Amino acid sequence: MNIEQIYTGCLAQGAYYIQSNGEAVIIDPLREVQPYMDRLAKDGVKLKYIFETHFHADFVSGHLDLSKKTGAPIVYGPTANPEFECIVAEDQQVFTVGDITIEVLHTPGHTMESTCYLLKDAAGNPHSLFSGDTLFLGDVGRPDLAQKAADMTQEQLAGLLFDSLINKIMPLPNDVMVYPAHGAGSACGKNMMKETMDSLGHQKEMNYALNQPSKEAFIEAVLDGLLPPPAYFPMNVAMNKKGYESVDVVMSNGMRPLNVAAFEAAAENMDAVVLDTRGAGDFAQGFVPRSINIGIDGQFAPWVGSVIGDVKTPILLVTDAGREEETVTRLTRVGFDNLLGHLSGGFESWKNAEKEFDTVHRITAEQFAAEVKVGESQVVDVRKESEYRAEHVDEAYNKPLDFINDWFAEMAAKDDAFYMHCAGGYRSMIAASILKARGIHNFKEVEGGFGAIAKTVVPKTDFVCQSKLQKA
């Protein structure tokens, strides 16, 4: 028996490849399936099942393409009702794979069909739990995503989750290894550990959600501090449930090179978003007007989902040379399939064609320290509220990037110039590009963000100034 976790950092997502005696299963596969096909061929094993823990909200799974290419059936837990052929398993149903077995544990709460899979070794002993979004390391799945579909409140779903954990998970042996679907950085939870696997016994000891004194306390603790889910989540659920275009077709479209004239025409005629995935420093020096900058070297896919929102939005790409395929692949993972192509030659071809371009007024932290007048200058901090609370520039306003669609109009109504920063410059450049695309240009963005500002003499505070904390 061999268990391999295939962890994708930009999504904080874990897929699992398990093989035993010539047979294999894959749990929660990513959209691009060729690496799985290559691995199966290399190992000389047959894919027997594709297990899905639930209808994922934060990424599009590869179950359909993988099933078509291998003939392996897709397995969901009880109550799932996808619009394609699959096995809807019963609670405690057992599947045999080589010398091992996998038992279905229906664990509703995160969603109604949420299911964990308990792997038992050749001797029949519980070995590993593939817990999906039911149990994370340090946390549990958020119970507010399936309210509409389940016709239940988040409190009712949280109560179901409590019952699932108490009745199905907690009785398992402490030495069972827990393999969750996500880790730190995912929007599917709020308190996840950076580790990606752990013993159940350790989770019983330290996971706050597993140590609440009552169901009522559990519900309160799990729901406390949840931020609104990204706008693209329901769309990914629909794609996973109803079906989607083959990833091969989407990749082909996104890899279509467009010369400057064709790119410009598509931008004007298709009402497309120009997505520039270069680093913040390069973007600041010059970009196609009204481009949105979300750097490929960061939490790229989740921020695309949060900022652009609608997965059907037509998208034109500007990338660094040689990173076109990587960019398209990462967009397909979160369901952005309406890709029109990419600018051949990148931004340099646009500039060399003597086309109009825009810039961002970016300054160093030292320049910021020399210019800013605390109490007079307006400073906008686009980090999350929790980061702001920990420490921030005196008198700075907190305007999280997550809620820019709510607060940008307020900035547009003001003529006063302002400074803007995040933690390191990634999120503030996203915000800068959005503001400029909407006609707001009277700001300076701080390179290096608060990490660099903290090393200067700019006055800072580590407590919340309630008059300045602006919640979206």
Q: What is the pLDDT of residue 428?
A: 98
Same domain, 339 and 374: no
Task: Tell me the CA distances in angstroms from 65 to 41, 80, 125, 167, one per residue in order.
Answer: 16, 19, 33, 35
188 lies in some domain: yes
d(CA 104, CA 121): 15
d(CA 252, CA 266): 17
Of residues 375, 391, 396, the one with CA closest to residue 470: 396
d(CA 95, CA 48): 10
Same domain, 31 and 103: yes
Same domain, 154 and 66: yes
The 3-state secondary structure of 222-288, one letter per residue: HHCCCCCCCCCHHHHHHHHHHCCCCHHHHHHHHCCEECHHHHHHHHHHCCCEEEECCCHHHHHHCEC
d(CA 239, CA 371): 49
SS3 percent helix, strand, coil of the chain, rounded to 5, is 35, 20, 45
Same domain, 316 and 432: no
Nearest-10 Cα torsion for 239, 244, 249, 250: -10
* 65 within 8 A of 33, measured Cβ to Cβ: yes
List the pLDDT tens digit at each of the 472 positions of the chain: 999 999 988 888 999 999 999 999 999 999 999 999 999 999 999 999 999 999 999 999 999 999 999 999 999 999 999 999 999 999 999 999 999 999 999 999 999 999 999 999 999 999 999 999 999 999 999 999 888 888 899 999 999 999 999 999 999 999 999 999 999 888 888 889 999 999 999 999 999 999 999 999 999 999 998 888 888 999 999 999 999 999 999 999 999 999 999 999 999 888 899 999 999 999 999 999 999 999 999 889 889 988 998 999 999 999 999 999 999 999 999 999 999 999 999 999 999 999 999 999 999 999 999 999 988 999 999 999 989 999 999 999 999 998 998 898 888 777 789 999 999 999 999 999 999 999 999 999 999 999 999 999 999 987 544 444 444 3
Give me the amino acid identity at 380. Answer: V
Same domain, 86 and 227: yes
Of residues 200, 224, 112, the one with CA closest to residue 161: 112
Q: What is the pLDDT of residue 463?
A: 57
**Residues contacting residue 293 through CB under 8 Å, at least 6 positions apart:** 276, 277, 278, 280, 283, 287, 429, 430, 432, 433
Structural domain for 407, as ranges: 362-461
Dihedral (CA of 394, 397, 398, 402) sign: negative
Count CB-CB contacts under 10 A for residue 261: 10
Give me the amino acid identity at 150. Answer: A
346 lies in some domain: yes
90 lies in some domain: yes
Domain count of the fold of the chain: 3
Same domain, 139 and 205: yes
469 lies in some domain: no
Domain-ending residue, one of 234, 258, 277: 234
In the three-class reduction of DSSP (H, G, I as helix; E, B as strand; rest coil), residue 101 is classed as strand
Strand pairing class (115-120; 74-76): unpaired
Q: What is the pLDDT of residue 87?
A: 98
292 lies in some domain: yes
472 lies in some domain: no
